[in-house]
Amino acid sequence: MSTLKSTLVWLAGLSLLIQVAVAALPFDWFGDGEMPTLAPMLDQSKPAVVNIATRSHVRVQDNPLLNDPFFRHFFNIPKQQPRQRTKQSLGSGVIFDAKKGLVLTNNHVIQRADEITVSLTDGRSFQAELVGSDPATDVALIKIPAENLTALPLADSAQLRVGDFVVAIGNPFGLGQTVTSGIVSALGRSGLGIEGYENFIQTDASINPGNSGGALVNLRGELVGINTAIFSPGQSAGNIGIGFAIPSNMVKQITDQLLEFGEVRRAYLGVQMQDITEELAQAFEIESGRGAVVTRIVKNSAADEAGLEVGDVILSIDGITLANADTLRNTIGLLMVEQTIELEILRDGKEKTLTATVKETQKQVHQGPVHPKLAGATFGDIEESSPYFGKIAGIMVYSVKRGGPSWNAGLRANDIITSVNRQPIESLEDFKPLAHNGKELLLNITRKQRAMFLLLK
């Protein structure tokens, strides 16, 4: 009897599973006897996903002895011109606006590129120009002079649920356009150290090298995310079923600013925060892992004007619960400047609601006379909205003019300069006098959590 009952339960479960699967798949399986397929949706979506090839020229660092006049004269070595090597890479992109020829991709696909070539599924190729990029979220927008394009409609990524079916379309390993499928494994992934601002969709749809910048679509063929990274333990560069995509809602926020300003103007609340530890949770009588405590208020900032105080615990922003200080920084950094928000806080054991209007980060930028090789770049103190604030001592490179002396020397936006000629710097005031002295500048730079030296002559 127990065996019969088990069999009936198993059959009932199998029947329910089949009903769920059939309801989720975009076809009439039993109506005309056709095999299940995603082909009709992909036939509409694939023309909107493009291949991106980039070419950049990298200066090859010569042996310092070859630059010594005495050494060259003694060994009768003629003065050599700086050598360069050509670097090529492949990635993917998504047509965002068919009429204007706008294409979305990852910043890391096109950064430092001197040439960007976009290839369509119909065989056409175009040279692209950069509209704007945001390294902090790894989003870039480029433009091609093409007609008769197909764009993907944007979905509301806030409606995604864990378990939703998704399809990744891109150009893995340079093989050409390839499709993989899976589900949404998790939402709101952050704290991974991949980008400055993180709110990733995690998926088990295979995302391999070359898929970066490609599309993550739902079963209606709508864009839910831009594929950007994979998790690979050890030295492996392959997919193990943990991939990450930037949600379409975040992409839309960034794209709106890139179109209007050519860059992202980050919102600024004006606070320093600390995670709620077990001890602090007991002291504030709240659950651990919820909110962030204010440790400093910047004078005349949005936080100051809103009435925030040191010791307040910020629990949520516009109803979105905050898990920690990083969540707060991510949330604020993705808001539009002058946006008004509601802060739910805990003060003296009582919950309160404050209203704040976030401002644009005030950058202290140095654009005065500097070493000739630094021309075309702007420098400033590390802003409080930066993920490097309080973690690295140095100054930020805010922008670098493409093709200018600083660009050709190897300097890039968002580099952190930590020392000049082996002298540590902590602020713009430390940097200014050092940037004028000497015929050579040896810069110690942190770039994407990697340290390197850059010699400017």
Of residues 389 and 363, more confidence is placed in 389
Virtual torsion, Cα 97, 102, 105, 107, nearest 10 deg: -140
**What is the pLDDT of the chain when averaged over all its residues?**
79
Residues 49-143, CATH architecture: Beta Barrel (2.40)
Judged on CB neighbours under 10 Å (0-12, 13-18, 19+), 420 is buried
Task: State the pLDDT at residue 252.
Answer: 92
CATH topology of domain 267-360: Pdz3 Domain (2.30.42)
The CA distance from 37 to 181, in Å, is: 12
Q: What are φ and ψ of residue 45, in 5° steps? A: -90, -40
Task: State the pLDDT at residue 77.
Answer: 63
Mean pLDDT of 170-185: 84
Give the best-scoring range by mean pLDDT among 6-15, 18-27, 86-95: 86-95
- pLDDT bracket for residue 102 (50, 70, 90): very high
Query: Does the pLDDT of residue 18 top 60, yes or no?
Result: no
Domain 49-143 matches domain 157-261 at the CATH topology level: yes
Task: State the pLDDT at residue 29.
Answer: 47
Task: State the pLDDT at residue 161.
Answer: 93
Of residues 395 and 288, more confidence is placed in 395
Task: State the pLDDT at residue 165.
Answer: 93
Task: State the pLDDT at residue 82.
Answer: 54
Tens digits of per-residue pLDDT, 225-267? 999 887 766 545 556 678 899 999 989 989 988 988 888 877 7
- pLDDT bracket for residue 277 (50, 70, 90): confident
Per cent of the chain over pLDDT 90 is 19
Lowest mean pLDDT among 29-38, 168-177, 298-307: 29-38
Tens digits of per-residue pLDDT, 209-222? 788 889 999 999 99
The CA distance from 139 to 85, in Å, is: 27
Per cent of the chain over pLDDT 70 is 77
Task: State the pLDDT at residue 16.
Answer: 45
At 45, which helix (H) or strand (E)? helix 39-45
Task: State the pLDDT at residue 9.
Answer: 47
Instruction: Please check whether the domain covering 157-261 is classified as CATH 3.50.50.60.
Output: no
Task: State the pLDDT at residue 26.
Answer: 53
Nearest to 389 by CA among 317, 296, 309, 306: 296
Residue 300 makes CB contacts below 8 A (sequence gap 6+) with: none
Which residues are part of the catalytic machinery? 108, 138, 212
Q: Return the CATH class of domain 365-456.
A: mainly beta
Domain parsing of the chain, residue ranges: 49-143, 157-261, 267-360, 365-456
Task: State the pLDDT at residue 33.
Answer: 61
Query: Does the pLDDT of residue 156 top 70, yes or no?
Result: yes
Give the best-scoring range by mean pLDDT among 26-30, 124-128, 266-270: 124-128
At 39, which helix (H) or strand (E)? helix 39-45
Task: State the pLDDT at residue 58.
Answer: 56
Give the best-scoring range by mean pLDDT among 14-18, 68-72, 165-169, 453-457: 165-169
- pLDDT bracket for residue 19 (50, 70, 90): very low
* Sequence-ordered strand ranges (E) for 305-400: 313-317, 320-321, 340-347, 350-357, 359-360, 365-366, 377-381, 395-400
Query: Does the pLDDT of residue 395 top 60, yes or no?
Result: yes
Of residues 6 and 400, more confidence is placed in 400
Query: Does the pLDDT of residue 381 top 90, yes or no?
Result: no
Whether this prediction's pTM lies above 0.75 is answered by no
Of residues 65 and 431, more confidence is placed in 431
Task: State the pLDDT at residue 85.
Answer: 60
List residues bridging with 271 in a β-sheet.
297
Residue 391 makes CB contacts below 8 A (sequence gap 6+) with: none
Give the best-scoring range by mean pLDDT among 159-163, 191-195, 330-334, 430-434: 159-163
Mean pLDDT of 370-387: 74
Query: Does the pLDDT of residue 196 top 60, yes or no?
Result: yes
Query: Does the pLDDT of residue 23 top 50, yes or no?
Result: no
- pLDDT bracket for residue 17 (50, 70, 90): very low
- pLDDT bracket for residue 20 (50, 70, 90): very low
